[in-house]
Amino acid sequence: MTHIPGIVITGASGRMGQMLIKTVTDSDQARLVGVVERAGHDWVGQDVGVAMGGPALGVTVTDDPLEAFAQAQAVIDFTAPEATLEFAALAAQARCVHVIGTTGMTEEQIEALEPASRHAVIVRAGNMSLGVNLLVQLTKKVAAALDEDFDIEVIEGHHHHKVDAPSGTALMLGEAAAEGRGVKLVDVADRARDGITGARKRGDIGFHAIRGGDIVGEHDVLFAAPGERIVLRHLATDRAIFARGALKAALWGQGKAPGQYDMVDVLGL
Ligand code: NAD
């Protein structure tokens, strides 16, 4: 019997799913024990290594999440909001750590995770990279140090397949800026400008989403005042940074008390 945690990856065929499978199989701190895809997907029933175009990994893609979770200590889930809610209930039933990278969840969907977090560890973050989580801390500090003479704008760019906007990371950065200023993001967020919008409202936090090509993820937090500007920037050039962060979270969560955590907890920032 090994003490190396067994990991299940959901959304196996996705951009992040495939990156996570590589990261887990390359790691000597975790074992890949299951991979899940949605029912009807042509990867279901195939060896996941072969489906990815490489050598067999001895793990068959399944559309039965509970059966897979029952063999595991952690589930790493970068899929879609409705799927993530279903996986949260099943991961809690199997007492697996549930690492959630899925973005675009509504407030109601986030609240619906609460019952699962009474029985199991959930680590959820709109961005799992060390660099972005540091940027979040810096944003909070800079926003706290500056007054509303500095207009805050969050500018993000992603590949053309991305389905939600602003990105989960942009919202994390907006929340951090609002927290630094001692205000609620919902009261100051300006999420779309088009047409005759009128002058910018003092204290607002603006969001802009660029979508194009294969951009992995770029985020600027701009603090613009008369006569000077500060720009905090993170550029992701490789999805591996998110997968490494997610695996770190899955390992960190082993033996922790049930509840909801984020990457600030995992990274001890
Ligand atoms: P993708 O579309 O390439 O992959 C999504 C995968 O989920 C697909 O394989 C799809 O079949 C699968 N899926 C959907 N519903 C399912 C279900 N019910 N059961 C099993 N599988 C299901 O998308 P992606 O680029 O890999 O991104 C996935 C999510 O991760 C998005 O929400 C994205 O914003 C987010 N993301 C988060 C981070 C982070 O650090 N938190 C980083 C990158 C992407």
pLDDT digits 0-9 by tens, 20-31:
999 999 999 999
DSSP state of 20: H
Radius of gyration (C-alpha) of the chain in whole angstroms = 20
- Residue 155 belongs to a domain with what CATH number? 3.30.360.10
Q: What is the mean pLDDT of residues 31-44?
A: 98
H-helix segments, the chain? 15-26, 48-51, 65-69, 81-93, 107-111, 114-117, 130-145, 168-181, 185-188, 240-252, 263-267
Is the pLDDT at 258 greater than 90, yes or no? yes
Is the pLDDT at 2 greater than 70, yes or no? no
158 is catalytic: yes
In a domain, 139, yes or no: yes
Same domain, 134 and 208: yes
Which residues make beta-bridge pairs with 32? 7
In a domain, 1, yes or no: no
Residue 115 tokens, joined: 């019952």
Q: Residue 11 C-alpha to ligand 1 middle, in angstroms? A: 6
Q: How many structural domains is the chain composed of? A: 2
CB-neighbour burial class of residue 68 (10 A; exposed 0-12, middle 13-18, buried 19+): buried
Same domain, 199 and 117: no
Per-residue pLDDT tens over the stretch 151-183: 999 999 999 999 999 999 999 999 999 999 999
Task: Out of 158, 208, 234, 248, pick the active-site residue.
Answer: 158
Residue 28 tokens, joined: 């000597």
162 is catalytic: yes
Name the pLDDT band for 269 (thresholds 50, 70, 90).
confident
Q: Which of 103, 130, 266 to mutate to test the pocket of ligand 1 (most atoms within 8 A of CB)?
A: 103
| Nearest alpha-carbon partner for 249 in 265, 229, 226, 227 | 265
Predicted local confidence at residue 192, as pLDDT: 84
In a domain, 252, yes or no: yes
In a domain, 188, yes or no: yes
Query: What value does the mean pLDDT of the chain take?
Result: 97
Q: Residue 103 C-alpha to ligand 1 middle, in angstroms? A: 8
Same domain, 103 and 177: no
Same domain, 140 and 155: yes
Domain containing residue 210: 130-236
Same domain, 158 and 218: yes
Cβ of 102 closer than 6 Å to ligand 1, yes or no, is yes
